[in-house]
């Protein structure tokens, strides 16, 4: 067998292909950053009682949807025109799947913003702050998932599996608390119900972030770790 090539960054012989791959990647990164911003606006709108921020999150979701369509269309075109293989093929497929997850994250942000607007119309409940650590965990997971994809950082990607378990724990604890609060404080029952749904949205964002990391690992290693977790890489 011959030794491995020393070259590390050879350009594709078809310049258009290289450009299309780059474009797809940068659109995914841009989409992730927009979804992150939408989540931040939605949660700040809730916690700072700022309706304008909630409206921004709802309006900007359309931009995320548009980028997802572009990524899908671009991916289809790359598959049709260039018949990519190996890392290129995995990158194109993963970009389309990651875009789908980011779109769902942005939808969750929109849901949070819509419920937040309803909460803002009511009296503030004190234990709304219980949601903050859940938000911190979910948003950090989203940021790191985007970073793991952008920088092909497998080590970072794999940390999300344990962090998702922690987020699930926080989620269960918060649901229990707000359910009890609904019984104790019937006057604010609707607010607590909205908070329960918002906690659920944040938990889902954690799941989507894990999905993004699975795709990032697949691009780099060619091994699917879906439903198996990091141990799939060992085998």
List % helix, strand, coil for the chain (3-state, nearest 5).
85, 0, 15
197 lines the binding site for other proteins (CB under 8 A) = no
Among 30, 32, 12, CA closest to 20: 12
Task: Considering only the stretches 53-61, 64-72, 83-91, 107-115, report the one whose residues sit in contact with other proteins under the rule CB under 8 A.
Answer: 83-91
Neighbouring residues of 15: CB distance < 8 A, sequence distance ≥ 6: none
* Interaction pattern, residues 33-72, with other proteins; x per rule: CB under 8 A: ----------------------------------------
The answer to the question of residue 14 lying near other proteins (CB under 8 A) is: yes
Binder of other proteins out of 47, 79, 89, 120 (CB under 8 A) = 89
Tokens of 3: 């030794």
Indicate the residue among 24 and 188 with the shorter CB distance to other proteins.
24
The DSSP code sequence of 57-79 is HHHHHHHHHHHHHHHHHHHHHHH
DSSP state of 88: H
Q: Is 88 in the site for other proteins (CB under 8 A)?
A: yes
Binding-site member from 7, 186, 231, 235 for other proteins (CB under 8 A): 7
Residues of this chain that bind other proteins (CB under 8 A): 1-2, 4-5, 7, 10-14, 17, 82-90, 221-223
């Amino acid at each position: 067998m011959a030794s491995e090539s020393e070259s590390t960054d050879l350009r594709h012989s078809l310049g258009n292909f290289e450009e299309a791959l780059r474009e797809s990647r940068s659109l995914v990164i841009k989409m992730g950053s927009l979804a992150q911003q939408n989540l931040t606006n939605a949660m700040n709108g809730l916690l700072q009682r700022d309706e304008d921020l909630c409206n921004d999150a709802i309006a900007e979701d359309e931009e995320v949807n548009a980028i997802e369509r572009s990524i899908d269309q671009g991916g289809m075109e790359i598959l049709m025109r260039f018949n990519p293989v190996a890392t290129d093929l995995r990158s194109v497929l993963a970009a389309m799947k990651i875009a789908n997850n980011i779109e769902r994250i942005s939808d969750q942000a929109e849901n949070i913003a819509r419920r937040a607007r309803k909460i803002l119309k009511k009296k503030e409940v004190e234990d709304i702050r219980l949601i903050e650590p859940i938000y911190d965990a979910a948003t950090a997971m989203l940021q790191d998932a985007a970073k793991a994809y952008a920088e092909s950082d497998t080590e970072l990607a794999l940390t999300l599996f344990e962090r998702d378990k922690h987020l699930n724990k926080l989620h269960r604890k918060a649901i229990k608390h707000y359910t009890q609060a609904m019984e104790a404080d019937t006057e604010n029952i609707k607010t607590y119900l909205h908070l329960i749904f918002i906690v659920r949205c944040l938990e889902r964002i954690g799941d989507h972030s894990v999905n993004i990391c699975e795709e990032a690992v697949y691009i780099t290693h060619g091994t699917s770790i879906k439903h198996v977790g990091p141990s799939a890489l060992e085998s």
